[in-house]
Chains A and B, each alone.
Chain A
């Protein structure tokens, strides 16, 4: 349904474009990474993660988040290239 809805809204968008947008959205899911950050913080506060693990994991997730936000931005501006394999 999502693809059809999107194509109806943006009839000039090809199916390849739409699939690509969906793929990028899934890989660079800002909300999911933010949730993982919050979960990591919660588990640290509950004593399940030690400080070192918490800090390492949070730092990795912050890097992921930064990349995801950057990619989403590029996606919105239409500057993402699809790699052909």
Chain B
């Protein structure tokens, strides 16, 4: 059976190996290192893992477990490499981009904020968005706006928040929930790996 490498992200916090449930029934996660950069991988027997809910959840679970005590630049689902050599060549070529991305997200996590209108309730959407963004802007480093995929979604933003600001962010979220009680439902999620705050594209040749 040929084994390929499925990647979760890149860190500069050193090499490691952990027993963790991973994509496509893998049970161990380890690093492939090039200089100070380590790609976090597990073994996989296909170049094209199935895009199932279960695999997507496992991809995210691995990252969740790792971001507790490491800074990680997350990869999107499905990045698979033929062997360590191919992966190392991507780490070598992407050193500058990885350095920049790791600096941007160092010591920070991503938090998700969705505000959804209660059934049959109409609100001044623009005013709500401005208010929420102003309040949360004071306790975060960056914001990314996500797709408003439902007519009932008023806010769908991700925030980049430093570890030391987490408590303050939680408090502001409490205030927001209270302020719009009866009008808007709040979904506050995370911490996530900072998917929305790194922008690294690995070329197709890297995956071969």
Which of A's residues lie within 8 Å of B, judged by CB? 34-35, 38-39, 42-43, 45-46, 48
Contact = CB atoms under 8 A, between A and B. Distances in A.
A68 B116 CA distance: 28
B164 interface: no
Contacts of B114: 42
Interface of B: 114, 116, 119, 149-150, 152-153, 185, 187
* Dominant secondary structure of chain B at its interface with chain A: strand
A39 B187 contact: no
A60 B63 CA distance: 31
Name, among B114, B116, B187, the residue most crowded by chain A CB atoms within 10 Å (CB to CB): B116
Name, among B114, B149, B187, the residue most crowded by chain A CB atoms within 10 Å (CB to CB): B149
Given A38-B150, A42-B153, 9 more contacts: A35-B149, A35-B150, A39-B150, A39-B152, A39-B153, A42-B114, A46-B116, A48-B119, A48-B185
Contacts of A39: 149-150, 152-153
A24 to B, nearest CB: 22
Contacts of A34: 149
Contacts of A45: 187
A29 to B, nearest CB: 13
Nearest to B156: A42
Contacts of B149: 34-35, 38-39
Contacts of A43: 116
A46 B187 contact: yes
B110 to A, nearest CB: 17
B119 A42 contact: no
A46 B177 CA distance: 13
B13 to A, nearest CB: 32
Contacts of A38: 149-150
